[in-house]
Amino acid sequence: MACNGEVVMVLETKRNPQVWKHFDLCLMSDSHEMARCKGCGKFMKATTNSTLKKHTDRHCPVTKAAAKKSEGGESSGTGSSKV
Q: Extract the runs of DSSP E, i.e. beta strands, from 1-78.
A: 7-11, 23-28, 33-37, 43-45
Average pLDDT over residues 66-83: 60
45, 30 contact by CB (below 8 A): no
DSSP summary character for residue 47: S
Sequence ranges of the domains in the chain: 7-63
pTM as predicted: 0.74
Q: Is the pLDDT of residue 63 over 50?
A: yes
